[in-house]
Structures are given as C-alpha cells and as structure tokens.
Structure 1
Amino acid sequence: MNTIFKTFKIILYCMISILMLCCKNEKSGLLTIYVDTDAETPLALSEITSSLDSVKLELTDKSLIKNPFRIVCTDDYILFVETKAMMLFDRSGKFIRQIGSIGQGPGEFTGIWDATIDTKENKISLITHGLKRMCYDFNGNLLTEYQSVSSAPINNLYFVNNRLLLLCETPVKQNDIRKNETYLYTLTSDLKDIDTIFIRSIDHKGIWLHPYKDFITHDGEKTYLYYSDISKNCFLIDTLFQLNNKEVVANLHMDFKNKGLSPNGEKEINIFTIYRNSRYVFAFYNAKNQYYYFCHDTKTGKSYNMKDGYKDDIYTGEKVKIRPLNSDANQFYFLHTEIDDTTLEEPNPTLYIGRLKK
C-alpha cells in the first residue's frame, strides 16, 4: 500500500510540474515550432497568397539586372540594389536611371553594403564599402554625403515603421579576446545616429558576408529581428526576437531536428533567416548542403518544408524563392526570367510581388 501511495504521489507531482511548465510557457508567449529537416512537404504559392502581380522590367544597356541583394518598392518606383549599381524603375517596369556611380570622388562609391528608401522623406539612403553614408533623391541628385565614424565592416540598412535603422557588426578586442559585437542604430533622415541598442556579443570567427539581409521585418504592428551566425563551429541561433522600444525580447523558437555538429566538426544546420507576420512563420536554412524553405501556418497549425523553393502555381509553374518586400512581412517578391524559343537576347527578369493571406 505504501508503495502504491508513493507511486501515486510521484505521478501527481510530475503532473503538477508539467502543468506548471505549460502555464509558464503559455504566459511567456514564446511559440516553439518544430522543423523536421528530413521532411519534404511542398507548398504552392496559391495556398498562402491573396494576390500576385507581375512587373516586366525593361532592358537597356544601363539596366541589366545581374544579382540584386535588395529590392525596394514605393507607390511610384522600384529600386534594385547590387554591389556596384542602383537601378531605378517605375512601377510599370520602365527603366528611369541609375542612382550614383562607381568611383572615389564626391557622390561616387566603390561598392554598396546596403541601401533602402526613406518613403517619409523620399530619399534613397545607402552605406558604401568605404563606410560613407549617402542620400540621393529620385532624380539622382546627391543630398547627403559624409564619412561614417563607425568602423563596422557589416552594415544592413532598413526603413521600417517610419524609422531608418542600421544593423552593424564589427570585430572588437577585449583583454586579448576577440569578439563580434552587433548594434542597432536609429538614424535621422540624413543618416546621423540618434539612438543605439546593443544586440549581442559572440566569439569572433571572422566576418562572414551574409547573402541575405532580411534580418529586420515588420508586420504592421510588431518589428522583428533575426541575426544569424553560420560560421563554422558556432552555436545555432534558432530564435526570432521582437523589438520593443530599447528591449530585444524572444518571440519564437524554432526546434530543428538533427541540429548540432557533425563528426567532422561542421554545423548540421545553418539558418540564413527567420521572419514572421501575424499568421505565417518563414525560415530559409541549409541542412547537409541542401537548401530548404520552411513555412508554418499558425492559423492551421500546418508546417511545410521545401527543397529549393515554393511551387509557383499562379504564373511560372516553377519553384521560386520568395523574400519579404520592403522588410514588410505581409508582402513578398521573387524574380523569374522568362525565355522561349523566339528569344534572341536574354531579357531582364520579371518581378513578382505578392501579398500573403490573413
């Protein structure tokens, strides 16, 4: 009888502990999403898209689109940002002009770290490889140019919720220990620092040039931050954070299967980005040298894990790679080049702009 009673007490204690833990997780509001990296569950764009528009981009000798790392749209313009060029189109796809030029003189740049459009002030803002901060108007006139006092080699620029934000990472040395420190700056319309938030400090593994810059997104109500580190032997960053004034708080956690290091010391999972809106959670990651796109629908509870992209069953019939447009997690874009047997010269890609279902 005593044994039965003790067993009952242990079971009861465990049940109470589990209940308390569940209540704690519910109060914290931290959503945890499981990602089965071995699964292949396709998702068609029509299942998550409320509208999808196409813009055929004019090709001229000055508007050849090669490899844009940032695309920004306003009601009137589309800006394509590449390492060595910025090309401005109207919303119908007609090429207008290049913004700025390559060089080392006034109004010129040797390369572009990042650029965005301040829609409040109607300015094109950029950070150059020489760490100059520059602003242009849509006619290509230089408005602002000065040398940044920051020595941060990694700079990511965003215009989110009517604020101009600069996310910087730089190596520092503290007591003979090298670290990478990340800060988020709020800027004025002429790119002056007015506020700073410390994001993180991690062991220095070198500065890695990230192919994506979708680290800050906004869904109309909340602003989110995800800043990855996919260097060798570094920890897995699998948490999306929310920016609340000067606080950076955890918003959701992604539980990846097979995470950790392989026997030869390589990371099994490399996450490039995580972002979300009120309904969908998205991720782009690499697992065992295979690229995956992940989508979780919080409304239905369903998750989708796709090799190489989403099935575009609306226009192209092919797999496409979507990214948030203007750091707006409610919109997305992708590029697709349409070639047929009658094409004599490869055209510029067509830009597709979509809006997600609510």
Structure 2
Amino acid sequence: MPLITLKKILLSFIAFISLLGCKNNQRSTLKIICIPDNTNTHVYLSEFSEEINEIQLETSQNILLGFINDVIIYDDKLFIRELKKVSIFDLNGNFIKILGKLGDGPGEYRTVNSFTIDQETGDIYLSTYNKLIVYDSTFQLKEERKLGYPIGYLKILNGELWIVSEEIGVAVEDGIANRTNIYKLDKYYQIADTIPYRTIKIDKKRIGGYPFRYWMSKIEDDLFMFMPVLTPENMMRDTLYRVEDKMVVPSVKFNFERKQSLDERDYQTLLLYNIVNSTSYYILEYDQDWKRYMFLYDKKNQRGYNLSEGLIDDEGDPVFLRPLDLDQDLFYYIKKTEFEDKTIEELNPLIGIVKLK
C-alpha cells in the first residue's frame, strides 16, 4: 500500500478517535474541549472586555517597528520585541530607547529568540540562540552567559528562571530526533532541574517555528506547558500539559472536529500554534487551510467561540488577543494605523490593552 495512503488512513483513524473523545469526555479524567469546524460570526471584543486602553506608538526616524513578536508591561513601560531588537516605550506611546546594543560584542545581540522580565527585581533576560544576556532595571548590562544548549524560550516564574530548549537533529539509538527539555536554572545560571518534554524521531533534519511563543504559563500554583510541533508529523499536538514533580502530565485536550489531513508536501492543513491559559479563558491560535483562527473558551460559562482572525473591535476590525498577565486576564492586540496619505512612511502600530471579564 502506498505510504501516502497509509498516512491518510492513520489520520482518519485519529480524527475518528478524537470525535469519540468529544462524545465521551464525561468518562475521562482528562478535560476535553471540542472545537467545531464552523465559526462564530459577529462576536465583539466589547462583549468580553472590562476595560480597553489603546496606545499609539510613536513613529520617528529613531524607531520604526516591523513585525512585533511579543509585548511585556513593566514599571509603566511597554517592552516590544521584534526579531532583531527590544524597544521600550512609555504608556503614552513615547519612545524611550532600544534595550542594549545591536552587534556581536559583549552584551550585544543581533536577534532575539525570547525575553522575559522579573516583576520583582526588574531584571530583563534576553536570549539569542545559546547566549543569555541579563540587564538590570536601569537597562544596564548585568550578566552574559553562553549556555551549552539553544534557548528557545525564557520565563521568570516565582523569581525562578525557566528555559525551554529544543535541539534539532540530535543522534538517538536508531536515527535522529528533535528533542525538547525544560530547564530550571539556579542563581548561578546552572541547571537545577531538567524536565524531559518530548523527543520526536525524524527522517531528516526539519525545522519549523513560529514567532509568537507563549509556551509556559503559571495560574495560581499550577505551571502549564504547550509547545507546537510545526514539522511534518502524522498527528497534531493538541494537549495542554501541567508540569508537576519533574514531569509533564496532560491537563486539557482540544479536539478539533475538522479531520486531520496532510497536503502534497506532507504538512498538516491544520496547525495549532499556541494554547494560552489564563484564569478565566483558554485562547488557541491555529491555521486551517492557511487561514488564521482564534478559539476563545470561557471557563466560567463553559462556552467556546471559534473566530476567524479574532474578536471584532468597535471599528469592525478583527483583533487577535495575546497574553500580558494571565492571572489577571490581561491581554494585548496589535493594530496597524490606517491613514490616507500614502506618500508618508507607515506609522508604528497601535497596541490595545484589554482586561477581560
């Protein structure tokens, strides 16, 4: 039987089992939430928001933003991460400075894989491949370390530094694999704990990535983890995990009604990028047939909304919510400013800060 036919049969079987899980979730200890194939229309941001504050970022020759990957608020400042820099604004949108220096020297960087801020001390942690750079609350260089592994994601939780590291094409017993570990570092930036997350065997080196990374979150005393797999596989990773006792255990499974399938390049036609877990909501970001969707699940009312491109704002435009403070149900969205004079340079975007009900 041809290989592609075997793949299609396997994917159909997986989809069938997923639908059974939706129907029988009352018998399972694992929480299961179903995502329908159809979408909800005319779902407005104002229906869910308690407060919305929009900040127009300053545009000048000193600061022209491109693709924004992440936003953090600390000490009445907005920290904006792009691929090549972290820019700092005040809450009125006025530009303050670029964090650190761009280059290859000590304390300098050319790309930013991830960054996080210790909300207690104000220390800022930035990673560029395997280099960890630490700045203090006045933006001065405090520490620089080259670690022995790639740093894909950084997160400060309860004053402790956590790292998610994905190694591509490592040798295993019967071939090669992509291997992901979670590390907790001590005050000397040495590994204090290692939690194996997953190992995926591959036929050749394959790299897949997504710029918006929200892989770890902490709600009250529970630590959660989701990291997408964006290389060709015969199934989609659709489960949010809880980290406990140096292990990861399934917490919530999201079953898509849409059947799993592979395109002619052996890529999934349904790609799940992020599962964001806040106190009152789950927010999923996924592509279906290369179109972006947002699934919003209200935990209090146990109701889900499947949205094409996001919630609708007061101007009738879809906006996509991304996390700021998950304990407080605080999110942000990015919106380009429209203007009539096309001869002038494009303005920096508007950042919306949203407190959900």
Fold conserved (TM > 0.5)?
A: yes
| Residues 109-137 of structure 1, C-alpha deviations (whole Å, 9 max, x = no match) | 132211111222211111113x2111112
- Where does residue 285 of structure 1 map in the other structure? 286
Other-structure match for 2:163:
166
What is the distance in 1 between the residues matched to 2:270 and 2:328? 24
Match of 2:218 in 1: 218
Residue 160 (structure 1) shift: 3.0
Show the counterpart of 2:316.
317
What displacement does 1:190 show? 6.1
1:155 corresponds in structure 2 to 152
What is the DSSP-based 3-state SS (H/G/I as helix, E as strand, rest coil) of the residue aligned with 1:112? coil
Q: TM-score, normalised by structure 2?
A: 0.84
Larger radius of gyration: 1
User: TM-score, normalization: structure 1?
Assistant: 0.84
Distance 2:187 2:80 in 1: 20
Q: Is the 8 A contact 2:44 2:313 kept in 1?
A: yes
The answer for the alignment partner of 1:200 in structure 2 is: 198
Residue equivalent to 2:248: 248
Deviation per residue, 1:73-131 (Å, 9 max, x gap): 113221111121111122232211111222211121132211111222211111113x2
Q: Does the CA contact (< 8 Å) of 2:88 and 2:96 recur in 1?
A: yes
Tell me, in whole angstroms, the C-alpha distance in 1 between the residues paired with 2:187 and 2:57. 29
Cα displacement (A) at 1:60: 2.8
Match of 1:144 in 2: 143
Equivalenced residues, count: 329
- Structure 2 residue runs of 5 or longer lacking an equivalent are 1-23
Conservation of the 8 A alpha-carbon contact between 2:196 and 2:247: no
Aligned-residue CA RMSD (Å):
2.3
Displacement after TM superposition at 1:226 (Å) = 0.8
Q: Tell me: CA distance 1:58–1:310, structure 2 relative to 1, closer, same or farther (3 Å).
A: same
**DSSP-derived class of the 2:184 partner:** strand
Q: Structure 1: which 5+ residue stretches go unaligned?
A: 1-20
Give runs of aligned pairs for residues 257-296 of structure 1, distance below 5 A: 257-262=257-262, 264=264, 265-296=266-297
Q: What residue number does 1:15 align with?
A: none
State the match for 2:46 in structure 1: 46
Partner of 1:228: 228
Aligned amino acid, residue 185 of structure 2: L
Asked if 1 retains the 8 angstrom alpha-carbon contact of 2:25 and 2:31, the reply is no
Whole-angstrom CA distance in 2 between matches of 1:186 and 1:226:
16
| Residue 72 of structure 1: aligned partner | 72
Cα distance in structure 1, aligned partners of 2:302 and 2:227: 25
Give the counterpart letter for 1:155 in structure 2. Answer: G
Distance in 1 (CA, whole Å) between partners of 2:229 and 2:60 is 38
From 173, 176, 186, give the equivalent of 1:175: 173
Bigger mean CA deviation after superposition, 260-269 or 303-312: 260-269
SS at match of 2:113: strand
**1:18-167 alignment to 2 at 5 Å?**
24-25=27-28, 28=29, 30-129=30-129, 131-150=130-149, 152=150, 155-167=152-164
Paired residue for 1:304?
305
Q: Distance in 2 between matches of 1:103 and 1:219?
A: 37
